[in-house]
Amino acid sequence: MFSAMFSLFYLIYNTVYLIDPLLYIDIFIYLKLYFFFCTDQIEGCLGPSTVVLDHSSGFEGLLFVDDDLLGVIGHSNFSSIRATTCVYKGKWVYEVLISSQGLMQIGWCTLNCRFNQEEGVGDTPDSYAYDGNRVRKWNVTTTNYGKVKTACLIDLDEGTITFCLNGQSLGVAFSNIKTGPGVAYFPAISLSFKESVAFNFGSRPLRYPSHFYAYTYRFYVIPPTTDLIKANRLLG
């Protein structure tokens, strides 16, 4: 539902810009206000306030582990899925807990990206990914980078993407990524058969909290402080 609405609005205000830039500004302001309402007015974030993996956008070949729509298992050659909420401004982070050691590419993509059984996140121009199994980063071309990681960070103010291992930064993976009007990034993953992961968009405490991004990057979801304190006590 959200993806279809975002696609329609994206097409409308980019088409209007070609006709009348002033009218484009009015429509863009309206769209921002509309989506801020959908996300409890979190600036820089578009979509539902409860962030999950988008099972309604035609993605196939993946099995959900449970009803919270945060854990998936690959059930085909190479399947992809994105989150329900995207970001277009500011600094954002989400965490991925990896349960297997095989092929997967985890990162960010725009709504324009089209994936198939051969090409996934990082194989298209407007998607960026890291593969801990092959220790490589991907954006159409690929180079060596890092180790197995658990956190994906995007800085849309500086135009950079960084990955972390157990809370430790592996350094900037991509710089000068595309930003600006009409560009927003979704958390996304592509994984092969029987590979499994679980996403944390902020509904539970970080497995590997880090000062590197704790005070500068925002989670998608801002959980109740009291619940977080209780959870941290239970986890020791």
Q: Please write the tens of the pLDDT for every residue from 197-225.
A: 999 888 877 777 665 555 556 765 544 44
Residues 63, 26 share a domain: no
Residues 131, 32 share a domain: no
Who wins on pLDDT, 140 or 168? 140
pLDDT of residue 220: 57
Q: What is the pTM of this model?
A: 0.73
Percentage of the residues of the chain whose pLDDT score is greater than 70: 67
Domains contained in the chain, number: 2
Residues 106, 189 share a domain: yes
pLDDT in tens, 17-34: 445 444 433 333 333 333
Residues 58, 117 share a domain: yes
Q: Is residue 118 domain-resident?
A: yes
Residues 201, 106 share a domain: yes
Q: Is residue 230 domain-resident?
A: no
Residues 180, 118 share a domain: yes
State both tokens at 28: 């863009």
Residue 66 has pLDDT above 50, yes or no: yes
Residue 2 has pLDDT above 60, yes or no: no
Where is average pLDDT lowest: 25-29, 105-109, 149-153, 206-210?
Answer: 25-29
Instruction: Name the residue range of residue 179's domain.
Output: 45-222
Residues 204, 107 share a domain: yes
pLDDT in tens, 44-56: 888 887 889 988 7
pLDDT of residue 158: 92
Q: In this structure, what CATH number is given to the domain that contains residue 98?
A: 2.60.120.920
